[in-house]
Chain A
Amino acid sequence: MAVTYLFVFVFLAMMGYICHFAVTNKQELINNSYNTRQSMLLAQNRRGSIYANDGTVLAETQTNTDGTETRVYPYANMFAHAVGYSTNGRMGVEALGNYYLINSNEPVSQKVSDDMAGIKYTGDSVYTTLDVELQEVAYNALGVYKGAVVVTEPSTGRILAMVSKPDFDPNNIDAIWNDLVADTDSSVLLNRVTQGMYPPGSTFKIVTALEYIRENPDSYSSYYYTCNGSYISGEDRINCYHGTSHGSVDFRTSFAKSCNSSFANIGLSLDKTSFRDTLDGLLFNCELPLQSTYSMSKVTVEEGMLDSDMMQVAIGQGTTQISPMHLNMITCAIANDGKLMKPYMVERVENSEGSIVKQFNPAAYGSLMTQEEAQILTDLMTEVVNSGTGRKLSGLSYTAAGKTGSAEYNTVKGDSHAWFTGFAPAEDPQICVTIIIEGAGSGGDFAVPVAKRIFDAYFE
């Protein structure tokens, strides 16, 4: 009878729905703070440990003689935002790997002996992609400045180091929590790598250059402009950094010397619809393939916008905002023949016996640009190091490529954030570094030396 088939069909659909829902949402449901099963799991299992890529302990739970538990972070402030904390909410790897850390896949025999001994089962361990040495160098290089450093592996998407300052000591998170929350000025709890929103400044010229190349594939190399320190369109004026007059520049030199006037000139020539497509393709104004909390980058390009605004967009000023992580992802795509790998920080999960519970493999997000475009940008960025604003990286045992930026955030005083984003070796990129130092000055003077210390540590 038709009604029978109808009901059987409806029930099969419902069964498919239930299984699909339960399996795909399992972790998200467990992590929801309204879910009481978390405390149930924590009463049964001791929270697992977090390790660096070489097996160094980054976080572990110790049971005190009185039976209480303490979460210990041996590197204290150094991994504050990357590893995060697990009480008063969660952050970093503690949040990403929470599901695994609170579950235990101990063998039954071990569970039995735990029961006999009257101790909790050991939660599964999370092995991260973080590299203690690079993190330490990046952490120290940033010094007392506020800012962020992120180091990734462009061919896989592994995050090797992630530093955000100001920082805090996660060992004392319960004691300092109220102060951290109350202190809205320095926003210590903000992970500036993923959540910090900065004007990209001249690093955005990578994007403007890509669009110009796309619009003028045959003629961009014959581009030519004479810079006298500023660009004037009607009543609007764009100055080069510190009013430097760059003289006669071609496309390559405009990029290498980071000539604002020339890029304002380029910006006004661009087709806005096509530019928007390029921005969309580079993940502006949209979701990023990141698992952790992040802020969405913003840029406004639309038909009929004022020339003054368009000139600001072209040099990465105005209302444009980007997170260091997003800039790093664009740089990674350039370093990886245009292909973006999804950034990730959790490499694998092991049970107490060292058997692998879950392995995370590198995953491609897709192509942000063609291989040819990536190669042209790599050449431009190599020139920045050879003869432009990144010269502090030239003449070393490795060839670096990158772009500096000095993002002005206070137009009256001319204060600027120092940016650098780049990779090395230029011919076979292995690591990709993005740095922002708040209010330090020019990228070439302040951010590039930090990059150099990181590259040196990696390639030594």
Chain B
Amino acid sequence: MERYITEFSNYFITIFMALYTYECFAVFRYSTEEKRKGIYVRQNILMFLVHFTCFLTICMETGELDYLFFYAFQEVILFAAISLFSMIYPKINKLLINNICLLLSIGFAILTRLSYEKAIKQFIIVTASLIVAMIIPFFIDKFKFLKEWKWIYAMVGIAALSVVLILGSVTKGAKLSFSVAGIAFQPSEFVKIIFVFFVASALYKSSTLKEVAITAVIAGIHVIVLVLSKDLGSALIFFIVYVLMVVVATKNWLYLLIGAAGGSAAAVVAYKLFTHVQIRVTAWKDPWSVIDNEGYQITQSLFAIGSGGWFGLGLFHGTPESIPDVESDFVFSAVTEELGLIFAMCLILVCVSCFVMCMNIAVRLQDKFYQLVAFGLGVTYIFQVFLTIGGGTKFIPLTGVTLPFISYGGSSVLTTLILFSIIEGLYIIKQREVSKSGKTKRKGASGGNSNRRARVYEEDEAEFEEEYEED
């Protein structure tokens, strides 16, 4: 019996995951949350099935029923998160909440398989983070002064990163964290969010060359401090987020070219100056020739990716633990090996659907500050996903960042939860904007004075107006 369950569970997990992923994109066919209700219910059922089948397999493979209790706790927390978010904020975007909970549940399953101890720690951190995340949309909605704190963001960001550079404990050649009361903090994770607020607050009013130049200096300091801390992944995220936010703020694609040229020049300089950059590039170009040293981690990751096949070897049937740091930087490889390529591709698509939804929200926000924040946070998220998956599969050089929600790491999960809570807050703001402008438009129309912009707006946002009226 166990044999049959473990043998077929992967097919079921893959099918449930594929259906869930389909629903993620089916959402975009409908314009109102009301019409998407059915999809969200189906998603909730499917994510429950994925989570349950994973843990059923874990119990069967290990013969330990303890895992079922652990599973029950997770299910309670995830279910509570989904229902509490919807109760507190009736206008919340449920696709993002569903995706977050699905990704968290996959993270729990794969971490339990890799290290039960770390999975329990992660569970506690996630629970605490969810509580924090729940109040954030409220603050985003109410605190109107957030856009005025430009210099505070800049100072806090640089100060936090510098503290790590100076005091930080050295982990794996990169100074990433310092400990307070036994809990390791990785400030670069939190500073990512502060940095997005800084750029948005600096550029929302005017994005003249002067403004862009000033922010470029501040952004440059962030990046240089990170490179000195050997945190190349975060440095790259800051850089890309800055360049893309400038492009969107100025609507001038020339900045992308300048950014690309500047980035390439900086990359060459960094390659010449720092041996840790050279090592990463060597290990990327031909890891097989340095398989004993620099290439060991990436080749072990490639072995894992190559051995899973379309449906995976099954939980506990592979050897992902042979990859050093598998729980943090290479969790995607572990997923691919044991749950299969199709599952892993669906996982990527779920991350992409989160990003597309963020961009959707950003485009429709009226307030430029909020628009820039939503855009910057979305890019921060997706670019980090790109770095970790691309790095672990030798698509790009390895930079050692976590896969949000799935990797082990407290700072990572808390930061990403805050990130998405802010976007949820912006989504709520967006709907208020829509309803306001809906009223304005109606007034305008009655006065027979509707200008062209309002008409365009009307076509774009008709659906949101409708939604508002239903409420």
Number of cross-chain contacts by CB at 8 Å: 99
A108-B7 contact given A7-B355, A11-B386, CB 8 Å threshold: yes
Q: Does A306 contact B (CB under 8 A)?
A: no
Closest CB pairs A-B (n = 4): A29-B306, A4-B359, A35-B303, A112-B3
| In the complex, chain A residues 25-74 whose Cβ is within 8 Å of any chain B Cβ | 25-26, 28-30, 32, 34-37, 40
A18 touches B386 (CB 8 A): no
Q: How far is the CA of A112 from the CA of B8 in the complex (A)?
A: 13
Using Cβ atoms and an 8 Å threshold, which residues of chain A touch B319? Answer: 36-37, 40
Q: How far is the CA of A411 from the CA of B308 in the complex (A)?
A: 57
B248 touches A3 (CB 8 A): yes
B7 touches A37 (CB 8 A): no
| In the complex, chain A residues 1-35 whose Cβ is within 8 Å of any chain B Cβ | 1, 3-4, 7-8, 10-11, 14-15, 17-19, 21-23, 25-26, 28-30, 32, 34-35
Q: Does B450 contact A (CB under 8 A)?
A: no
Q: Does A111 contact B (CB under 8 A)?
A: yes
A21 touches B306 (CB 8 A): yes
| In the complex, chain B residues 367-382 whose Cβ is within 8 Å of any chain A Cβ | 375, 379, 382
Q: Does B277 contact A (CB under 8 A)?
A: no
Q: Does B344 contact A (CB under 8 A)?
A: yes
Contact of B363 among A1, A8, A10, A23 (CB under 8 A): A1
A3-B379 contact given A29-B302, A37-B307, CB 8 Å threshold: yes
Q: Does A115 contact B (CB under 8 A)?
A: yes
Closest beta carbon of chain A to B301's beta carbon, Å? 11
Q: How far is the CA of A1 from the CA of B361 in the complex (A)?
A: 11
B7 touches A22 (CB 8 A): no
A111-B3 contact given A1-B362, A3-B244, CB 8 Å threshold: yes
Q: Mark B389-424, 1 if CB is under 8 A from A, else 0.
A: 110011100000000000000000000000000000
Beyond A14-B386, A29-B302, 12 additional contacts (C-beta under 8 Å) are: A8-B352, A15-B349, A18-B344, A21-B393, A25-B302, A26-B306, A34-B296, A35-B303, A37-B307, A111-B7, A112-B3, A112-B4
A37 touches B303 (CB 8 A): yes
Using Cβ atoms and an 8 Å threshold, which residues of chain A touch B305? Answer: 18, 21-22
Using Cβ atoms and an 8 Å threshold, which residues of chain B touch A23? Answer: 341
Considering the complex, give the chain A residue whose CB is closest to the CB of B3: A112
Q: Does B356 contact A (CB under 8 A)?
A: yes
Using Cβ atoms and an 8 Å threshold, which residues of chain A touch B307? Answer: 26, 29-30, 35, 37
A26 touches B341 (CB 8 A): no
B393 touches A18 (CB 8 A): yes
Using Cβ atoms and an 8 Å threshold, which residues of chain A touch B355? Answer: 4, 7
Q: How far is the CA of A112 from the CA of B355 in the complex (A)?
A: 44
A17 touches B395 (CB 8 A): yes
Q: Mark A71-104, 1 if CB is under 8 A from B, else 0.
A: 0000000000000000000000000000000000
Using Cβ atoms and an 8 Å threshold, which residues of chain B touch A112? Answer: 3-4
Q: Does B345 contact A (CB under 8 A)?
A: yes
Q: How far is the CA of A22 from the CA of B345 in the complex (A)?
A: 12
Q: How far is the CA of A35 from the CA of B301 in the complex (A)?
A: 10
A-binding residues in B (CB < 8 A): 3-4, 7, 244, 247-248, 291, 296, 299-300, 302-303, 305-309, 318-319, 322, 336, 341, 344-345, 348-349, 352, 355-356, 359, 362-363, 375, 379, 382-383, 386, 389-390, 393-395
Using Cβ atoms and an 8 Å threshold, which residues of chain B touch A29? Answer: 302-303, 306-307
Looking at chain B's contact residues, the main secondary structure is helix
Using Cβ atoms and an 8 Å threshold, which residues of chain A touch B3? Answer: 108, 111-112, 115
Considering the complex, give the chain B residue whose CB is closest to the CB of A27: B306
A18-B363 contact given A11-B348, A34-B299, A112-B3, CB 8 Å threshold: no
Using Cβ atoms and an 8 Å threshold, which residues of chain A touch B291? Answer: 34
A34 touches B306 (CB 8 A): no
B-binding residues in A (CB < 8 A): 1, 3-4, 7-8, 10-11, 14-15, 17-19, 21-23, 25-26, 28-30, 32, 34-37, 40, 108, 111-112, 115
Q: How far is the CA of A108 from the CA of B394 in the complex (A)?
A: 35
Using Cβ atoms and an 8 Å threshold, which residues of chain B touch A32? Answer: 299, 303
Using Cβ atoms and an 8 Å threshold, which residues of chain B touch A111? Answer: 3, 7
A14-B393 contact given A21-B306, A37-B319, A108-B3, CB 8 Å threshold: yes
Considering the complex, give the chain A residue whose CB is closest to the CB of B306: A29
Q: How far is the CA of A14 from the CA of B305 in the complex (A)?
A: 14
Using Cβ atoms and an 8 Å threshold, which residues of chain A touch B4? Answer: 108, 112
Using Cβ atoms and an 8 Å threshold, which residues of chain A touch B302? Answer: 21, 25, 29
Q: How far is the CA of A301 from the CA of B250 in the complex (A)?
A: 64
20 examples of A-B residue contacts, CB within 8 angstroms: A1-B363, A3-B379, A4-B355, A7-B352, A7-B355, A10-B386, A14-B386, A14-B393, A18-B336, A19-B345, A22-B341, A25-B306, A28-B306, A29-B302, A29-B306, A30-B307, A35-B307, A36-B322, A108-B7, A111-B3
Q: How far is the CA of A7 from the CA of B387 in the complex (A)?
A: 12
Considering the complex, give the chain B residue whose CB is closest to the CB of A4: B359
Q: How far is the CA of A14 from the CA of B318 in the complex (A)?
A: 23
Q: How far is the CA of A194 from the CA of B306 in the complex (A)?
A: 29
Q: How far is the CA of A106 from the CA of B174 in the complex (A)?
A: 47
Q: How far is the CA of A83 from the CA of B436 in the complex (A)?
A: 80
Using Cβ atoms and an 8 Å threshold, which residues of chain A touch B306? Answer: 21-22, 25-26, 28-30
Q: How far is the CA of A133 from the CA of B299 in the complex (A)?
A: 44
Q: How far is the CA of A112 from the CA of B4 in the complex (A)?
A: 8
Considering the complex, give the chain A residue whose CB is closest to the CB of B322: A36
B303 touches A19 (CB 8 A): no
A22 touches B359 (CB 8 A): no
Considering the complex, give the chain B residue whose CB is closest to the CB of A114: B3
Q: How far is the CA of A402 from the CA of B72 in the complex (A)?
A: 77
Q: How far is the CA of A75 from the CA of B247 in the complex (A)?
A: 73
Q: How far is the CA of A15 from the CA of B322 in the complex (A)?
A: 24
Closest beta carbon of chain A to B250's beta carbon, Å? 13
A3-B359 contact given A37-B303, A40-B319, A115-B3, CB 8 Å threshold: yes
A26-B386 contact given A1-B363, A34-B299, CB 8 Å threshold: no
A8 touches B356 (CB 8 A): yes
Using Cβ atoms and an 8 Å threshold, which residues of chain B touch A35? Answer: 303, 307
A15 touches B348 (CB 8 A): yes
Q: Which of A23, A35, A115 counts the most chain B CB atoms within 10 A?
A: A35
